[in-house]
Amino acid sequence: MATGVTATTALVAVGAAAALLALALVLVLARSHRRARDDRRRLEGIARQLALARDEARRNRLLADLDGLTGLHNRRYFHELLAREVARAQRYGRQLALVVFDLDDFKSINDRIGHLAGDAVLAETAERARGVVRSADIACRVGGDEFAVLLPEVSGREAELLCLRLREAVSSKPVAEAGTVSVSAGIAELQAGEEPNAFFERADEALYRAKERGKGQFVRAAGRSAPSDATRRPGTAGSP
């Protein structure tokens, strides 16, 4: 009889131990599940924070590339892009044109209507320029009232057509308080082996030659070794 009781007690003890072990296992698994869930939530939180930081960095980078007044790309971005596009065009033998333009008599406009109204004129000019460039072209404000448009895969002749559209867009109707204004432009087509700074300087020099001829003119820069004979004269496409 005692043996039977002992055996029964042993079985009960074994059963109780097994139940405790099972409970302990359930508790361990539950704890592990909670830990895994907490770890997953923590990782998801970190991922969200990283995504927010990445988006903020992207926004800051974009803002750093833009001119605050006009919304066009700024001078720093322009020169970075110019170096990249010149390198690409030289490497693959592609065409690349550059248009540099500014508002005629902008200092007089500022003196007449004030600097705040002058800023509105610059912003409106930029908006009209944005409306006539291709999606592949990059318009930038490079300083004061001077703007530049970089035109990948475009010849000097095609850049002249852009100048015609630009001149029409700006001068066809009054601009803010300034009334009717005009723009002058210089055009350069990238030459083999030409460096970015030399490319920009040729377009900028062409702009000054255009301004010497009067308002609303544009001049296409001659080659570095060729005579300067690309000025558009009265009665041609580059004249009013």
Last residue of a domain, one of 34, 65, 96: 65
Q: Which of 67, 137, 145, 204 is catalytic?
A: 145
Q: Does 231 reside within a domain? A: no
Q: Kindly tell me the number of DSSP H helices and DSSP E strands found in the chain.
A: 6, 5
95 occurs within a structural domain: yes
Strand order across the beta sheet in which 218-220 lies: 138-143, 146-152, 96-103, 183-189, 218-220
Q: How many CB atoms are located within 10 Å of the residue 103 CB?
A: 24
Higher pLDDT, 71 or 45: 71
CATH number of residue 88's parent domain: 3.30.70.270
pTM for this model (two decimals): 0.71
Domain of residue 121: give its range. Answer: 75-220
**How many domains would you assign to the chain?**
2
Question: Tens digits of per-residue pLDDT, 123-172?
Answer: 999 999 999 999 999 999 999 999 999 999 999 999 999 999 999 999 99
Which amino acid, 133?
V
> Which tens digits make up the pLDDT trace of 186-234?
999 999 999 999 999 999 999 999 999 999 999 999 876 544 444 443 3
> How many CB atoms are located within 10 Å of the residue 49 CB?
10
Considering the domain architecture, whether residues 58 and 114 belong to the same structural domain is answered as no
**Is 52 in the same domain as 82?**
no
pLDDT in tens, 46-71: 555 545 445 454 544 555 899 999 99
Q: Is 39 a catalytic residue?
A: no
First to last CA, the chain: 125
Would residue 234 count as lying in a domain?
Answer: no
| pLDDT recorded at residue 49 | 58
- Do residue 119 and residue 80 come from a single domain? yes
The pLDDT confidence band at residue 177, using thresholds 50, 70 and 90, is: confident
Do residues 53 and 89 both lie within one domain?
A: no
The token pair at 216 is 């609303």
Do 47 and 156 lie in one domain? The reply is: no
**How confident is residue 24, by pLDDT bands cut at 50, 70 and 90?**
confident
